[in-house]
Structure 1
Amino acid sequence: MTSMTSSGPEDLRDRMVENIKQAGHLRSSRIEQALRTVPRHRFVPEASAEDAYANKAITIKPGENRPASCASVPTVVAMMLDQLDPRPGENVLEIGAGTGYNAALLAELVGEHGQVTTIDIHPDVTDHARTALNETGYGRVRVLTGDGALGDLEHAPYDKIIVTVGPWDLPAAWFDQLAPGGRLVVPLHWRGQARSVAFVHEDAVLRAHDSQLCGFIPMIGIVPTGEQTRDITTDVALYWDADQPIDLDALRNVFTGTDTTVWSGATVVPNEPFDGIWLRLTATEPGTCRLAADDTALEAGVCTAAFPYRTPALVEGDSLAYLTKPRPVEDAGERRYELGATGHGPAGATLAERLCEQIRAWDRDRAAQPTITAYPADTPDDEPAQGLVVTKQQTRLVLSY
């Protein structure tokens, strides 16, 4: 059978796994086998089998402006499991039960001698997960209803913790309940971006050398949020963190004057990702934040942001610069696009050049990642390592190359 509509769930599941492998998000044979074993379609019974195995998220609980709970994109599921690396016999905690599908994968990976606990704040979500897990043979998974920010002390310590909702901060309970040497994989938000960070608990801190671009529903409950937003001008908004001294009044007229665009010399081919630039900015430029421009603002030429709602920007006083829309260049007949930055305000040109410096640094080593160290908020000031500090309510992040 070759038709997508005529293929059975097993064929669709194998095709899903092959697509994940082609995307480069499946390096573990154990995780591959788990993905081939767990029947994803039975965790999303209201979706068609084709949708269940497509590379897209599936909403299971609608919210007011965005879904309250969903089944994550399969490539992201595989990527995060690869970061987590669950082993047979381990004790794993999942924050965000969703459909129960990820907990079933975890149960496959830790085996009958391991333990999996999944927790969600929504009772109807945990009811759904419990039912689906029971019906698919994973009744041994422990399903709890509660605020994931508190973890589950009763069954701690955990060898691994995986978070499948998007927190802005790292609650103290996750530090306390993760065993020394244990791993925490969490889609953390900072400086306007969200990345799945693979932390290891060592020397009373969490330290990571790997993070991957992702997007998750924001976490609710007692976990604090510190992202702020406000329109700079009509149809253009800025998002920044609470520890950043952003003065929006100083930027009120930033788009009314002339602008300066600086080109970096670094190029990409069509559809080539360059999210590493944003990551590098968060480790080198304290004023890194996110610019969101509606299509109307882009069409009117108010700004030329690279992406409508998620473009990295630098802000300093009454000036800003952002990653600008790449321009096409000819390179031996190959379609390529040059990356650059556009600045507005008195120091706009300087900020644009600084942003381009980081583009060039990324271009010299596109695989380089900063070390991200998370310290509890009460850590003495003289203790954290050298690097750019991101101060949250319960955590201080230090990023350094």
Structure 2
Amino acid sequence: MATAPDQMTRRLDRYANALRDQGTITSNTVQEAFATIERHKCVTGFYYRGEHYDVPQDATPGEDVLDIIYSDASLMTIMPSDRSMPASSSSAPTIMGPMIEALDLTPGMRVLEIGAGTGYNAALIATITGAEVVTIEAGSAAAAGAAASISRLGMGDLVRVVHTDGYDGPGTEPGGFDRIIVTVGIAGVPPAWLDQLAEGGFVLAPTAHGGMHPTMELHHDRSVRPRLWSDFMTAVGPLRPAEVIGREPGATLPGTPGSIPNVLAPLETDAYNDCWFHLAAHDPRTTRAYLEGTDPWGGMCAIVADDTRAAWLRTNGSVMHTDPALGAKLAHLVRGWDDAGRPPLTQWSGTLTQAEYAPRPLLIPSAWSI
């Protein structure tokens, strides 16, 4: 009979192989990290599809719990009652994997992580680099949980959890980080982060654009390059000030919509997201919004003028609107993307500029071009 450790080894191998097969990870080093770090040791409980699951650490969890943990599921671990306090989760491996691949890690690299979460991501990174990872967490409960996870994994010599606000970065820590990875949705980058980079280093951060948080590569020379379409739980405090964000995405708007059919042929997910990035680069009113009485899976990309005037791009290639002029504007921009050859978001580049009205200095992507 196989021993419990043998069973876990096989489970980890299946998990990493599945991520490799679906293209979530593409390199041997990242695959080996996912096959090594035991994700179940990083969570003592989580919410999934409306249910809460306990994860005992004094015994091997049940197969039903392990099946969820070792899947592509995002595991919500902390849901604060006060929205001003940070929530926490273990992000879905389908976004963790591509982000780690985008870091292009090599042994010996120093990495700073903003948003420790459960500690799982930092442990994966340290397994690849074999060097110290400093991971910062603003939430006290999440910071304590991440430190406990690192202890259970036996990685205290490589991963150090710091409880502080992410805006200030590593504080008195020595700079020279080869990579800074951010695992929470932010409005922009504090200048201090760029000052902490080593030569040739970069920040990889989910940064506000079009009501979502595409993952962007940000450099010390203030150049910006989108890498992945993504969305994350939003940061609290000076990393995502209301003065910069303006209208919060996700509103449900009323109205009896008009329609402009057949603007495009139906769009697959990647193409829809590429067009969304294009729209936000051309019109800052682009955001994520819902039209009352319609299926959100039919498309949430919208240009919102106010609480009654908006237009939506639908995945079936049509435009719906509560204002004919705004609908025509959206259709024009969508056709422009199509006429340009449907450029993917990775073809765009931008520049970091100082945000207006931010309570503390914040650099936001702007001046987009292809």
Partner of 1:400: 369
Q: Check if 1:16 corresponds to 2:19.
A: no
- Displacement of 1:57 in angstroms is 1.2
Q: Taking structure 1 as reference, are residues 317 and 126 closer, same or farther at Cα in structure 2, changes over 3 Å only?
A: closer
- Displacement of 1:144 in angstroms is 0.6
Secondary structure at 2:207 match in 1: strand
The amino acid that maps onto 1:292 is: Y
What is the percent sequence identity of the aligned residues? 27
What is the CA–CA distance in structure 2 between the aligned matches of 1:11 and 1:65, rounded to whole Å?
A: 41
Q: Which moved more, 1:353-362 or 1:126-135?
A: 353-362
CA contact (8 A) 1:266 1:359 kept: no
What is the CA–CA distance in structure 2 between the aligned matches of 1:230 and 1:44, rounded to whole Å?
A: 30
1:28-81 CA distance string (max 9 Å, x none): 211111111111111124342222111111122122388811111011111110
Partner of 2:245: 227
Partner of 1:373: 351
Partner of 2:61: none
1:283 equivalent among 281, 296, 299: 281
The amino acid that maps onto 1:142 is: R
What is the CA–CA distance in structure 1 between the aligned matches of 2:69 and 2:363, rounded to whole Å?
A: 37
Partner of 2:311: 321
Partner of 1:356: 334
Secondary structure at 1:356 match in 2: helix
2:194 equivalent among 175, 182, 203: 175
What is the CA–CA distance in structure 1 between the aligned matches of 2:250 and 2:16, rounded to whole Å?
A: 44
Q: Which of the two has greater helix per residue?
A: 2
Q: Check if 1:218 corresponds to 2:234.
A: yes
- Displacement of 1:305 in angstroms is 8.4
CA contact (8 A) 2:113 2:180 kept: yes
CA contact (8 A) 2:185 2:208 kept: yes
Q: Check if 1:122 corresponds to 2:139.
A: yes
Partner of 1:333: none
- Displacement of 1:183 in angstroms is 1.5
What is the CA–CA distance in structure 2 between the aligned matches of 1:218 and 1:160, rounded to whole Å?
A: 21
What is the CA–CA distance in structure 1 between the aligned matches of 2:140 and 2:327, rounded to whole Å?
A: 52
Secondary structure at 1:274 match in 2: helix
The amino acid that maps onto 1:321 is: A
Q: Taking structure 1 as reference, are residues 273 and 20 closer, same or farther at Cα in structure 2, changes over 3 Å only?
A: farther
Q: Check if 1:50 corresponds to 2:28.
A: no
Secondary structure at 2:33 match in 1: helix
Q: Taking structure 1 as reference, are residues 316 and 222 closer, same or farther at Cα in structure 2, changes over 3 Å only?
A: closer
- Displacement of 1:230 in angstroms is 7.8
Q: Check if 1:196 corresponds to 2:215.
A: yes
Q: Which of the two has greater strand per residue?
A: 1
CA contact (8 A) 1:264 1:359 kept: no
CA contact (8 A) 1:262 1:356 kept: no
Secondary structure at 1:33 match in 2: helix
Q: Check if 1:342 corresponds to 2:308.
A: no
CA contact (8 A) 2:39 2:120 kept: yes
What is the CA–CA distance in structure 2 between the aligned matches of 1:98 and 1:288, rounded to whole Å?
A: 29
Q: TM-score, structure 1 length as denominator?
A: 0.75
Partner of 1:69: 88
Secondary structure at 2:216 match in 1: strand
2:161 equivalent among 136, 143, 146: 143
- Displacement of 1:261 in angstroms is 0.7
Secondary structure at 2:199 match in 1: strand
RMSD: 3.2
The amino acid that maps onto 2:236 is: I
Q: Taking structure 1 as reference, are residues 179 and 15 closer, same or farther at Cα in structure 2, changes over 3 Å only?
A: same
What is the CA–CA distance in structure 2 between the aligned matches of 1:147 and 1:79, rounded to whole Å?
A: 26
Partner of 1:387: none
Q: TM-score, structure 2 length as denominator?
A: 0.80
- Displacement of 1:102 in angstroms is 0.9
Identify unmatched segments of 5+ residues in structure 1. 2-6, 238-254, 327-338, 379-391
- Displacement of 1:393 in angstroms is 6.2
Partner of 1:88: 107
Q: Taking structure 1 as reference, are residues 120 and 282 closer, same or farther at Cα in structure 2, changes over 3 Å only?
A: same
What is the CA–CA distance in structure 2 between the aligned matches of 1:93 and 1:132, rounded to whole Å?
A: 18
What is the CA–CA distance in structure 1 between the aligned matches of 2:308 and 2:238, rounded to whole Å?
A: 34
Partner of 1:388: none
1:110-135 CA distance string (max 9 Å, x none): 11xx2210110122222221122122
Runs of 4+ in 1 over 6 A off after TM superposition: 230-233
Identify unmatched segments of 5+ residues in structure 2. 45-53, 56-64
Q: Taking structure 1 as reference, are residues 51 and 160 closer, same or farther at Cα in structure 2, changes over 3 Å only?
A: same
Q: Taking structure 1 as reference, are residues 372 and 126 closer, same or farther at Cα in structure 2, changes over 3 Å only?
A: same
